[in-house]
Structure 1
Amino acid sequence: MTRLVNESCAACDRNAIAVEADEQAELLLQLPGWQVVGRDGVPQLEKVYSFKDFNGALDFANAVGELAEGANHHPAILVEWGKTTVRWWTHTIGGLHRNDFIMAAKTDYLHGK
């Protein structure tokens, strides 16, 4: 398990500093299957999780929603038959903050439970 899962999110404002490309690459090494994707010009962390059916995908999405609400940091979640796609980014800075990598690690932890 990555050490990121044991970290907590720090409150961010619009002056928070985005993670630079070299640090992104280092953090991604701790997050198998996650990738940085661009959506409307905004870099985001994305991973697709597979499940046996829709209910498994939905249950996982709900668990991620509870995790997000507890951290006051909210992802985009897409639920389809047999898969859930999760995308993390920091809305206030329009990019990636360390918090996003922490939440990605916590999402992986939820999936592994």
Structure 2
Amino acid sequence: MSNLAQETCEACKSDAPTLSDSEINELKPDVPEWEVKEVDGEKRLSRQFKFKNFAQALAFTQTVGDMAEDVDHHPAILTEYGKVTVDWWTHKIGGLHKNDFVMAAKTDQAYL
């Protein structure tokens, strides 16, 4: 398990830089199941989680939502029958910050 899951989100100012490609590549091995994708010109971390049914998917969605609310850092979450897709990125800076990798690792931990 990644040490990132033990870290906490730090307050991010709107003028904070997005992570460079080399910084992303350095953090990516800590969340190997996550894909870096670009949506509307902004990089995001994205992963799909599988479940046996809608109730389990919904419970996981609530867990991720509560975790996000606790640190005031909110992902896009798509809940469907048997799967949940989570995208983390920092809206304030329009791309990826270390906080997104921390929250991806925490999301992985919640899935176990």
Superposed pair shares fold, TM > 0.5: yes
Aligned AA for 2:23? E
Q: Which residue of 2 aligns with 1:40?
A: 40
Q: 5+ residue gaps in structure 1?
A: none
- Per the TM alignment, residue 19 of structure 1 is displaced from its structure 2 partner at its CA by 1.0
RMSD of aligned alpha carbons: 0.6
Q: Secondary structure at the match of 1:48?
A: strand
Q: Distance in 2 between matches of 1:104 and 1:75?
A: 10
What pairs with 1:24-103 in structure 2 (closer than 5 Å)? 24-103=24-103
Q: Secondary structure at the match of 1:49?
A: strand
Relative to the length of structure 2, the TM-score reads 0.97
Cα deviation 1:24-65 (Å, max 9, x = unaligned):
012111112101111111110000000001111110000000
Relative to the length of structure 1, the TM-score reads 0.97
Q: Distance in 1 between matches of 2:84 and 2:60?
A: 8
Q: Distance in 1 between matches of 2:20 and 2:72?
A: 23
- Per the TM alignment, residue 17 of structure 1 is displaced from its structure 2 partner at its CA by 1.7
Q: Secondary structure at the match of 1:95?
A: coil
Q: Distance in 1 between matches of 2:8 and 2:16?
A: 16
Aligned AA for 1:20? S
Q: Which residue of 2 aligns with 1:107?
A: 107
